[in-house]
Amino acid sequence: MTAARKLQHAPTAPQVLREEIYQIGRQIDRRLGNRPGTAERGIYFWLWPPDSLNDLGVLARLHADAIEFLHDLTTTPKETP
């Protein structure tokens, strides 16, 4: 196999953001005890499926919102009843 065949294309910016949103969603699901994929569907809500979304501005805002939610989830003390 030649070196050229081993090369892979670098992911595009939308692909990177979609992957990061997916990973953030997995962390949110684990922390909340959700079924896998629940948070990711919630993050995209009206924009499902995520593979069809390529607008960097929209993806960046969704990414920021997901990070903010995860941060709040991990740093805000839980209230006891």
pLDDT in tens, the chain (81 residues): 566 666 678 899 999 999 999 999 999 999 999 999 999 999 998 887 778 788 899 999 999 999 999 999 999 877 755
Judge contact between 44 and 6, C-beta under 8 A. Answer: no
Kindly list the distances between the CA atom of residue 79 and the CA atoms of 9, 28, 49, 76, in Å, as whole numbers in the listed order: 47, 18, 35, 9
* Predicted local distance difference test score (pLDDT) of residue 39: 95
Does pTM surpass 0.85?
no
pLDDT of residue 15: 92
What is the pLDDT at residue 47? 84
pLDDT for 28 equals 95
Q: Which residue's entry shows tokens 């209230």? A: 79
